[in-house]
């Protein structure tokens, strides 16, 4: 997604069933993602909490 993604839109590289990145570790894995360090503030303690936190952040930063 060279232009990034809009809030509320899933990344095109995210496998919807496994919730895993399909290009992790490959040459086209984005630098932004490579530089992201998981933190409890964003990721919570499990996948369900991470989804809740990220959904809330996306709602707060969505363009009107």
Burial 18-43 (b: 16+ CB within 10 A, else e): eeeeeeeeeeeeeeeeeeeeeeeeeb
User: Of residues 6, 7, 9, 14, which one binds ligand SF4 by CB under 6 A?
Assistant: 14
Give me 41's structure tokens. 């503030």
User: Of residues 30, 44, 50, 58, which one binds ligand SF4 by CB under 6 A?
Assistant: 30
* Neighbouring-strand partners of residue 21: 14
Q: Give 6 or 33: the residue with its C-beta nearer to ligand SF4.
A: 33
User: Smallest distance, Å, CB 45 to ligand SF4?
Assistant: 19
Residues contributing to the site for ligand SF4 (CB under 6 A) = 11, 13-14, 21, 23, 30, 33
């Amino acid at each position: 997604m060279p232009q990034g993604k809009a809030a509320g839109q899933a990344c095109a590289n995210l496998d919807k069933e496994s919730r895993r990145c399909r290009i992790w570790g490959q040459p086209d894995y984005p630098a932004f993602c490579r530089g992201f360090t998981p933190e409890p503030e964003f990721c919570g303690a499990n996948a369900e909490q991470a989804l809740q936190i990220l959904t809330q952040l996306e709602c707060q930063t969505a363009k009107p």
